[in-house]
Structure 1
Amino acid sequence: MTSDILSKKILILGCGNILFGDDGFGPYVAEELQKNYKIPENVCVINAGSSVRNILFDIALSEKKPTKIIIVDAIDDGKTPGEIVELPVEKIPENKIDDFSMHQLPTSNLLKELKDLCNVDVIIIACQIEHIPEEVTTSISKKLTDAIPETCKRIYEIINSSLP
């Protein structure tokens, strides 16, 4: 990962696999932010896809670190499909801390370490999936598509409240 990215004040990571329907929510949000929002110079939006673990490790090991990381992901937590939740790292359920499965929050223990040991403010914005298909598909459900603008608006609010 380039030091230019790590020198940004805020890093937004859109996580998920666009080949598995609703799991691609995070990358679709990242794409929407890049296309339709004016992103400040000291903010970087990355479609992390399913490589978020590698990016988080690079951040943890780097001398330069962002002051804030916003993780955008799809979750299957029994909520209403399309419902957006904002989770502080402290609120990640204990049973998900070491969960590296495809449809769970990314590398939860590493997020906690970034917050606690590296003083990086970590915010997780997640959207409840409607369905993860058994076959490859690059489209997400209407409920998640409808949640993208609200998610982008919330991220933009966080950016604006975090910068001078």
Structure 2
Amino acid sequence: MGQAGHILVLGIGNLLWADEGFGVRAVEYLQRSYRFPEEVTVLDGGTQGLNLVGPVREADVLVVLDAVDFGSAPGTLHRVRDEEVPQFLGAKKMSLHQTGFQEVLATAELLGDPPGSMLLVGVQPEVLEDYGGSLTDTVAAQLEPAVVEAVEYLRAFGVEPLPRSAEPEEEAGKPAAALARSAYEEGRPGPEEACRFGDARFLPLTGGPNGAAE
């Protein structure tokens, strides 16, 4: 494909809803594994929606990592290219962030500054309703393969990332990131202490006319 201008690698999703956080964890894995030249920006887009229009308009090449409902088996990794990317981000949305990002791409197109090349690396989630939960093992196993797909795509544009010999915070002389996956998982209580699907202690034992216990 040759040389590109500015390249944006973007992870989107919500860390608080289990496999919904895949895209954010994938760019974290990417950032902790490689150093990139200055023309490449690796960004945790979270659930920022239309706030991402600016960075997307500045990108000549866009790589998106996300959890997407492709209707396939949990943990299946998919690669989607160019004009097909908005279709998959909006056709079977799992949360508002996907509708928002489809609008980001449409807005960039309307303003005349869409990325010239796009790649979506998406994984089929297994669990989404576990509030406060981390990635399932099935989906977490696809972090490295997703990063490999992204890196191979970047190499086609002349980008050669360099493996890191230390954590980014260590290289910069800063404390470890509080939202890193290891810190997040070690610091939260297990479901036996903090139920994330609805705590029976706060639910009525029998349903009266107003939902109160009788």
Give the TM-score normalised by the residue count of structure 2: 0.62
Q: Is 1:90 equivalent to 2:86 in the alignment?
A: no
Amino acid at match of 1:102: L
Which structure 2 residue ranges, 5 or more long, are not aligned? Answer: 160-214
Let me know the Cα RMSD of the aligned residues.
2.8
Establish whether residue 128 from structure 1 lines up as the match of residue 121 from structure 2. no
2:143 corresponds to 1:144: no
Equivalent of residue 114 in structure 1, options 90, 93, 108:
108
Percent identical among aligned pairs is 24
Do the aligned partners of 1:21 and 1:136 also contact (CA within 8 Å) in 2? Answer: yes
Q: Is the 8 A contact 1:25 1:144 kept in 2?
A: yes
Larger RCO (CA under 8 A, 6+ residues apart): 1
Code of the aligned partner of 2:124: Q
The 1:31–1:132 alpha-carbon spacing in structure 2 relative to 1, beyond 3 Å, is same
Max Rg structure: 2
Q: Residue by residue, what CA displacement relative to the aligned partner does 1:27-86 show, whole Å, maximum 9, x if unpaired?
A: 10111111112322211101111114311x2246x6xx2210111110122111111111
Q: Offset of 1:16 from its aligned partner?
A: 0.3
> Residue 35 of structure 2: SS of its match in structure 1?
coil
Structure 2 residue aligned with 1:102: 96
Change (3 A) 1:106 1:80: farther
Find the residue that maps to 1:153 and give its secondary structure: helix
AA in 1 matched with 2:129: P
Structure 1 length-normalised TM: 0.78
